A and B are shown apart, each in its own frame.
Chain A
Amino acid sequence: DTEVTQTPKHLVMGMTNKKSLKCEQHMGHRAMYWYKQKAKKPPELMFVYSYEKLSINESVPSRFSPECPNSSLLNLHLHALQPEDSALYLCASSQVGADEAFFGQGTRLTVV
């Protein structure tokens, strides 16, 4: 099973809303990632968790707050977003270290 599951698939939120994106994997991977992808651009790394600890934060604004409650789950909490934050948000997982990373289908986020 090489599946990474993301929910919801689509999300529309207002600039004053608080919402969360969820990601789950059952491959025993101990590295999990959040990426942001704008149209016609490559995915941009936001956060990396290794062994449930935040190891990389690519200078992401604090209105994005990641959380890794256990080795299978990764959340991204959203608060006070801007319209320019509208994008496809991708979750991925891999073994820790330079290994194959598997991606979920993404959450299409629209901020209005």
Chain B
Amino acid sequence: GQQLNQSPQSMFIQEGEDVSMNCTSSSIFNTWLWYKQDPGEGPVLLIALYKAGELTSNGRLTAQFGITRKDSFLNISASIPSDVGIYFCAGYDTGTASKLTFGTGTRLQVTL
């Protein structure tokens, strides 16, 4: 099956810094979604991407759908303490509609 690898696995940053993380797939995806999950809660949808090359923003978050359709990137600008959590990419592959697969996750910790 597909594997979605996220990097970095974890990161410690200072408040106010910008954050970049990425997600790569072994196969082509036709939709990419980015989620944030707090401990003990369900994932919350941040951004959805539908077209190769698409760049979409949601407040301080910007995500891009890679040209090869095998990767996606998420940037967070001017991080704040409430950005702490685990960020997951997720995607629907081109072969099976409605099969949403999650990446391995990036754990973000923000220090004051």
Contact = CB atoms under 8 A, between A and B. Distances in A.
Contacts of B65: none
Contact of A56 (B40, B42, B45, B99): B99
Given A43-B102, A98-B92, A103 B97 contact: no
Contacts of B35: 103
A42 B98 contact: no
A48 B99 CA distance: 7
Nearest to B6: A42
Interface in A19-50: 31, 33, 41-45, 48, 50
Contact of A105 (B42, B45, B99): B42
Interface residues of A, number: 29
A101 interface: yes
Given A42-B103, A42-B105, A97 B42 contact: no
A56 B96 contact: yes
29 contacts: A4-B42, A31-B98, A33-B98, A33-B100, A41-B105, A42-B105, A43-B43, A43-B88, A44-B102, A45-B99, A48-B99, A50-B98, A55-B98, A56-B96, A56-B99, A92-B100, A97-B97, A97-B98, A98-B30, A98-B50, A98-B92, A98-B97, A99-B31, A100-B45, A100-B48, A101-B33, A103-B43, A104-B42, A106-B40
